Amino acid sequence: MIKIYAPASIGNINVGFDTLGVAIKPVDGKLLGDCVTIKSNENFKLINKGNFCFQLPKKIEENIVWKCWNHFCRILNRKILISITLEKNMPIGSGLGSSACSIAATLVAINKFCNEPLNEQELLKLMGEVEGEISGAPHYDNVAPCYYGGLQLIIKENNCVSQPIPFFKDWIWLVAWPGIKISTSEARSILPKKYKIETCIKHSRLLASFIHASHTNQSKLALKSMRDIIAEPYRIQLLPNFIQIKQNLLNLGAINCGISGSGPTIFTICNDKKIANKIYTWLSENYLKNKNGFVHICKLDLNGTREIGL
């Protein structure tokens, strides 16, 4: 029997649309991610449980875990007879890499169960393909950090999907999910099909500045470069009062904030524990829409997808 955990992630982090992503974990030790348990069985069986299993599709063929299993069976050219239990602890459509959690945990678990026929790069590429079936196109800014951990730069060159880049250890990350859903495909559909060349140049400059600042330990430059001119101007229509909320967070002492992935989760960065606690309280009182919503004070998860105790 194998049990695999995959952590939540933030895609884009303002600068780096579909290019940057970070894996996160709550500082209080709670698990913010999905778990998948696999054991031998006479036939394929899928069991769904967890806080958000009610959001999963009723048809088994539409379940992302079944899709992962089906892809792997095709690769091995045989039916893999296993029972899979998905603990769906991540809300779907939250902007925290929910599908990436399920995909990474499932594929790592199946690969391990089958004595690892796929290497790391092959496994990551498969994760991106399955992710693409959910969002409309393969992308790795959630699955790469979810799989590897840390802050990942998506490269997709020389048979390398992503590589880690340095991060600022004093940054405290907060994520707040209001308890409502925004589909990734919907959030992508409202983006322009074309951008002005001035916007493309500016975005390239901001992304390059952030990468340079990360490698040269220039925190202020990194923060100033973290501006979303690609998605945020259009996605704010999906998050009412986002501009005012963002200003309130900055007034409380945040050093950066933005939309996590496609939203509606927002992320906030600060470098002081007292400020982090103030922001936690404000978000809990002002951003959550129902009892399902949550706020977590986090740091980067450097371990990524891994086996945990049963």
Domain annotation for the chain: domains and CATH numbers? 2-164+302-307 (3.30.230.10), 172-299 (3.30.70.890)
DSSP secondary structure letter of residue 77: T
Residue 283 has a pLDDT of: 98
**The pairing of beta strand 256-259 with beta strand 266-270:** antiparallel
Residue among 5, 23, 18 nearest 267 (CA): 23
pLDDT in tens, 14-23: 999 999 999 9
d(CA 217, CA 171): 12
d(CA 125, CA 208): 25
Residue 240 has a pLDDT of: 82
| Measured CA angle at 185 (ends 291, 102), to 5 deg | 60
Angle between helices 120-135 and 98-113 (to 10 degrees): 140
Per-residue pLDDT band for 183 (boundaries 50, 70, 90) equals: confident
d(CA 74, CA 72): 5
Q: Nearest 5°: phi and psi at 298?
A: -130, 165
Per-residue pLDDT band for 280 (boundaries 50, 70, 90) equals: very high
pLDDT in tens, 93-120: 899 999 999 999 999 999 999 999 999 9
pLDDT in tens, 257-279: 999 998 999 999 999 999 999 99
**pLDDT above 80 (res 134):** no
d(CA 154, CA 213): 17
Per-residue pLDDT band for 186 (boundaries 50, 70, 90) equals: confident
* Token duo for residue 227: 């501006």
* Token duo for residue 51: 């806080």
**pLDDT above 90 (res 45):** yes
Q: Which stretches within the chain are classed as H helix?
A: 64-76, 98-113, 120-135, 143-148, 184-189, 197-215, 219-225, 232-235, 242-251, 273-286
Q: Give the amino acid at 103.
A: I
* Mean pLDDT score of the chain: 95
DSSP secondary structure letter of residue 138: -
d(CA 155, CA 3): 30
d(CA 151, CA 148): 9
Residue 223 has a pLDDT of: 97
Residue among 193, 262, 301, 224 nearest 17 (CA): 262
Neighbours of 184 (CB within 10 A): 23
d(CA 138, CA 94): 18
Residue 309 has a pLDDT of: 81
d(CA 296, CA 28): 9
Residue 187 has a pLDDT of: 85
**Could you give the dihedral angle defined by the CA atoms of residues 187, 193, 199 and 200, in that order, rounded to the nearest 10 degrees?**
100
Question: pTM for the complete prediction?
Answer: 0.94
Positive or negative torsion for Cα 130, 131, 132, 136 = positive
Q: Determine which of 134-143, 145-154, 213-222 has the lowest per-residue pLDDT on average.
A: 134-143
